[in-house]
Amino acid sequence: MYTGEKVRLRAYRKEDAPKAQAYINEPEIKRLLGGAPFPLTLGDEEKFLSQQSAWNDTYSFAIETLADDYYIGGCGLNRLDWKNRVVEIGIFIGDKAYWNQGYGTDALKILLRFVFEQLNMNKVSLQVLSFNERAQRVYQRLGFIEEGRLRQERYVDGSYHDMLVMGLLREEYEAVQ
């Protein structure tokens, strides 16, 4: 368990599945994540959670508020490259009432600490849809640099959208600690 100023990152529990399913099926969140436009079943979510284990190099955290131990979303590692020491991360705050209050920034600070100081990665990478300005604002604030643009990479709500590739190097992370 890793703690910040507003949230902690903890392992998922079986009982998180119904809430996780509701969060991930919420239309605006689905749109911002750019995933498949089909609702996930509870069984899908339970299967996903049951596969999360350090034994097979999958690391997903539930994000929980420090104030009232409320599960608000998740973050974790999508692709982990031990040789090149690059990892791709993802995040969502599933309860929209908690957007724009610093919870996502705090969760990502903890995740970056985990990635650099526990897993000894050299670089964190991520992809974000070009219209997801809130997420870009958060990534920029944490020091991520835009490294490229995958043109028309995702088809969302009837049109194609670019995907931005952003990265943060260990030396850049350490410079602001």
Ligand X SMILES: CC(C)(COP(=O)(O)OP(=O)(O)OC[C@H]1O[C@@H](n2cnc3c(N)ncnc32)[C@H](O)[C@@H]1OP(=O)(O)O)[C@@H](O)C(=O)NCCC(=O)NCCS
- Interface residues toward ligand X, by CB under 6 A: 29, 32-33, 73, 91-93, 99-105, 128, 132-135, 137-138
Contact 138, 93 (CB under 8 A): no
Q: Give the shortest CB-40-to-ligand X separation in angstroms.
A: 15
Q: Least separation, in Å, of the C-beta of 55 and ligand X?
A: 27
Rounded distance between C-alpha atoms, residue 111 and residue 102, angstroms: 14
Give the sheet arrangement for strand 2-3, strand by strand.
2-3, 7-11, 59-65, 71-81, 86-93, 123-129, 159-169, 145-156
Query: Cα(155)–Cα(121) distance, rounded to whole angstroms?
Result: 32
10 Å Cβ neighbour count for 23? 22
Q: What is the DSSP letter of 118?
A: I
In whole angstroms, how close is the CB of 83 to ligand X at the nearest point? 25
13 vs 137 by CB, closer to ligand X: 137
Give the shortest CB-24-to-ligand X separation in angstroms: 10
For ligand X, give the closer residue by CB, 103 or 173: 103
Closer to ligand X by Cβ: residue 50 or 100: 100
| Closest residue by Cα to residue 71 from 56, 80, 60 | 60
Nearest residue to ligand X on Cβ basis: 104
Q: Is 81 helix (H, G, I), strand (E, B) or coil?
A: strand
Using the minimum distance from each CB to ligand X, give the nearer residue, 55 or 74.
74
Give the pairing type, strands 123-129 and 86-93.
parallel
Which CB, 92 or 116, lies closer to ligand X?
92
| Least distance in angstroms from the C-beta of 140 to ligand X | 9
